[in-house]
Amino acid sequence: MSLVRSDIGRLLQYKLCLLRFKELGVNTIFSYNLGEAAGVTAVQVRKDFSVYGIKGRKRGGYNIDTLLIELNNIFGNSRKNIVVVGIGNIGKAIIQYNERFVKKNLHIVAGFDIDPSKQNKSYGVPIYPVEKISEVIKNNNVSTAIIAVPFQVAQELCNILISAGIKGILNFAPIILKVPDEIIVDNINLSNKLEGIIYNINL
């Protein structure tokens, strides 16, 4: 299993900050300003750009439109289809979040649940029985799935997703999924996040 590199997380944060600056009518930015907004040092910003071959102008800072083009070259801006497995509290919330993902060209195209009563309801995205996972993923060119099911069934659904061709998983189930090396997994364990914060408070 591969993990998501930390500099990639920073570049995505820069992209987000730059879009906000652009909306405010800013054209040019210094590493110091971007670092301030992104919560990192100015050197970290310049080093990150340096690694990816992104150039500014000495004493002139960086042009925001140019940076956004460079970042789009790195991340691509083609449409990405996503599915959500498990329409409980978290799964439902994520599906209802879809309109914001769409702005980044991330499209939740389907949800899956074993509960037939969930399958009737529309949250703006069609909900299918889990038996349809393979079919829907293949027909919609879906590369990425969000798992939001109880941990007891998470591995089983993970296996089904990978058989169906899923390459990346955002996993909310509190369990470490066993996947082949080439599959990307990122875990969000809310209890552990909270416990980690509380540990650091009391340090």
Partner DNA sequence: TTTTTATTGTATTTATTTTCACAAAAAATT
Partner DNA sequence: AATTTTTTGTGAAAATAAATACAATAAAAA
Which residues contact DNA by CB under 7 A?
A: 5-7, 30-32, 40-44, 46-47, 49-50, 54-62
Query: Which of 9, 17, 7 is CA-nearest to residue 51?
Result: 7
> How many helices (DSSP H) and strands (DSSP E) are in the chain?
10, 8
Least distance in angstroms from the C-beta of 183 to a copy of itself: 9
Nearer to DNA, 15 or 46 (CB): 46
Contact flag: residue 97 with a copy of itself (CB under 8 A): yes
For residue 50, the partner it binds in a copy of itself, DNA, none, with Cβ less than 5 to 8 A by kind, is: DNA
Q: Which of 131, 135, 156, 186 binds a copy of itself (CB under 8 A)?
A: 186
Q: Is 112 helix (H, G, I), strand (E, B) or coil?
A: strand
DSSP structure class, residue 153? H
Contact flag: residue 74 with a copy of itself (CB under 8 A): yes
**Rounded distance, CA 166 to CA 164, Å?**
6
Dihedrals phi, psi of 160, to nearest 5 degrees: -60, -45
Query: Which of 97, 92, 126, 130 is CA-nearest to residue 109?
Result: 126
For residue 181, the partner it binds in DNA, a copy of itself, none, with Cβ less than 5 to 8 A by kind, is: none
> 62 near 56, Cβ under 8 Å?
yes
Here the tokens at position 157 are 């659904």
Residue ranges that bind a copy of itself, judged by CB under 8 A: 1-2, 4-5, 8-9, 12-13, 16-17, 37-39, 74-76, 80, 82, 89-90, 92-94, 96-97, 100-101, 104, 106, 143-144, 146, 167-170, 174, 176, 184, 186, 188-202
